Structure 1
Amino acid sequence: MTEHGSTPPAEPDGTPADTTTATPEAAARAIDLYKQYGEGETSVTALDHINVSFARNQFTAIMGPSGSGKSTLMHCMAGLDSATSGSALIGDTDLSTLRDKEMTALRRDRLGFIFQSFNLVPTLTAAENITLPSDIAGRKVDQEWFEEITTRLGLAERLTHRPAELSGGQQQRVACARALVSRPEIIFGDEPTGNLDSNSAAEVLSILRTAVDKDHQTVVIVTHDARAASYADRVVFLADGQLVNELVDPTMDEIVAVMTGVER
């Protein structure tokens, strides 16, 4: 990767070198993605013809002020909301072409989710919450992988506990394990550290970083927290429903500087 602000390499005659072969494969793409809520004078444009890709085996953070469209973008990319026009693709699958049952199957079989509110079932144990999506799909859980993930996340001694018996950080680690255990194509996180103290937040972000570096996962999160975004390989910034900036291999100071400019 080139350093921030550096120019791409050039051929001897001065023309830019062809770097397309080095472009990472896209795990997900938005093509001319447009989302409008309401009609007429009361309509609100949440996404204004966005084009962006999320590279496979990378950690990407989406940032922007409140109302910038960052959560809407993630929800459209993850099939949790439908776009007004344009396309959201997971791999080569255009979500706009899927029927409801096919969309449900895609979310269940190919995506993992981590939410701010944990979204655990209170009557189930930690182990049952982790395997719930696989159980619903009728898929056998890889027990060796389950044990590796739960041990790595410090949950081995907590698997028989229900959510009410766990701290917030432990509950979010259960949610991370649930997202990781089926080895999805992409893990989407919507403010995954928003309800956590700084230590628990750092634990969760380290888990996601390790999932990318060690397990070759793809992670995309929405966050308002520069510290959380600094764990990412790339940060994209939205304002007024448009992509306005991005950073590669960002530092926290760089993220804060861009966000300060975006929020003006």
Structure 2
Amino acid sequence: MTPHAPPPIGQAAVAAVDLVKVYGSGDTAVRALDGVSVGFGRAEFTAIMGSSGSGKSTLMHCLAGLDTATSGRVLLGGTELTGQSDRTLTRARRDRIGFVFQAFNLLPQLTAAQNITLPLDLAGREPDRDLLAHLVDVLGLGQRLGHRPSELSGGQQQRVALARALVSRPEVVFADEPTGNLDSRSGAEVLAILRDSVRDLGQTVVMVTHDPIAAAYADRVVLLADGRVAGEIDAPNQGSVTDALRELAVPA
């Protein structure tokens, strides 16, 4: 593990500065984040890892504007999200952030094509047809665009979710255990697509995972323990991630 050294805020696609998140109050208060400062570089694939209760999901939710920090700052590019109104946060999530979840979160009544373009439709924006065609081709969805989620496999549903996250060219894609409901082959395909989106599209991806195999697809791993940054791994592989987790006494 290398010592934690947050990159300069101005160079980060998204960053936390002295971030604190406390749930509850008094004797029952839980300090989920305890002064986290970390930046996530542009056009990089970063995995966040840690044991259950380490704060990894809370950190991602605060960075993505899905949860509000108790104190500290969250910056999306040069924009401070901390303290913004619900309307402003909703607009930022819609226009500047992409999401990929373990449970896919597709609307069952819409076709794959309609699910892919839904965020843009809600924003009143036309999709970039060249990018849309490229994503459909790369994700192998050409024969599935008219199908509803119930007619797709889990891997195909997650590919639709990936296309939805990428088609608007967001500044950051947040992926929360994106392979958790997939078999190993489909999971590997999804991770390769995320990695390729960084290389080919200049996308920034921040992924929460518990899986060293998944983390090995990233450029960098940020390790959390007890709500604090506990270390980082550059150019991770399965072995280096497993060793680092063992150092932290985190079951791999």
CA distance in structure 2 between the aligned counterparts of 1:60 and 1:137, rounded to whole angstroms: 28
One-letter identity of the residue aligned with 1:29: A
Aligned to 2:66: 80
Q: How many aligned positions are there? A: 246
1:201 equivalenced with 2:176 (yes/no)? no
Q: What is the SS of the residue equivalent to 2:38? A: strand
- When normalised by structure 1's length, the TM-score is 0.91
Q: How do 1:174-189 and structure 2 match up within 5 A?
A: 174-189=160-175
Q: How do 1:1-264 and structure 2 match up within 5 A?
A: 25-263=11-249
CA distance in structure 2 between the aligned counterparts of 1:113 and 1:263, rounded to whole angstroms: 30
Q: CA deviation at 1:24?
A: 8.8
CA distance in structure 2 between the aligned counterparts of 1:118 and 1:81, rounded to whole angstroms: 20
Q: CA deviation at 1:251?
A: 1.1
Quote the RMSD (CA, aligned, Å): 1.5
Q: Tell me the alpha carbon deviations over residues 90-142 of structure 1, each in whole angstroms, 9 at most, x when there is no partner.
A: 00111113211111000000000000000000000000000000000110111
Q: What is the SS of the residue equivalent to 1:214? A: helix
Q: Tell me the alpha carbon deviations over residues 23-56 of structure 1, each in whole angstroms, 9 at most, x when there is no partner.
A: 9921011000000000000000000000000000
Q: Tell me the alpha carbon deviations over residues 143-197 of structure 1, each in whole angstroms, 9 at most, x when there is no partner.
A: 1211110111000110000000000000000000000000000000011111111
Q: Tell me the alpha carbon deviations over residues 2-25 of structure 1, each in whole angstroms, 9 at most, x when there is no partner.
A: xx87xxxxxxxxxxxxxx99x992
One-letter identity of the residue aligned with 1:189: A
CA distance in structure 2 between the aligned counterparts of 1:24 and 1:92, rounded to whole angstroms: 7
Q: CA deviation at 1:204?
A: 0.4
CA distance in structure 1 between the aligned counterparts of 2:15 and 2:126, rounded to whole angstroms: 30
One-letter identity of the residue aligned with 1:75: H
Q: Is the 8 A contact 1:116 1:194 kept in 2?
A: yes
Moved over 4 A (4+): none
One-letter identity of the residue aligned with 2:105: N
Between structure 1 and structure 2, the one with the greater Rg is 1
Q: CA deviation at 1:263?
A: 2.4
Q: Is the 8 A contact 1:24 1:55 kept in 2?
A: no
- What are the ranges of 5 or more consecutive residues in structure 2 without an aligned counterpart? none
Q: Is the 8 A contact 1:191 1:221 kept in 2?
A: yes
Q: Is the 8 A contact 2:209 2:215 kept in 1?
A: yes
- 1:91 and 1:228, CA in 2 relative to 1: closer, same or farther beyond 3 A? same
CA distance in structure 1 between the aligned counterparts of 2:44 and 2:10, rounded to whole angstroms: 9
- What are the ranges of 5 or more consecutive residues in structure 1 without an aligned counterpart? 6-19
CA distance in structure 1 between the aligned counterparts of 2:102 and 2:37, rounded to whole angstroms: 26
Q: Percent identity, please.
A: 58
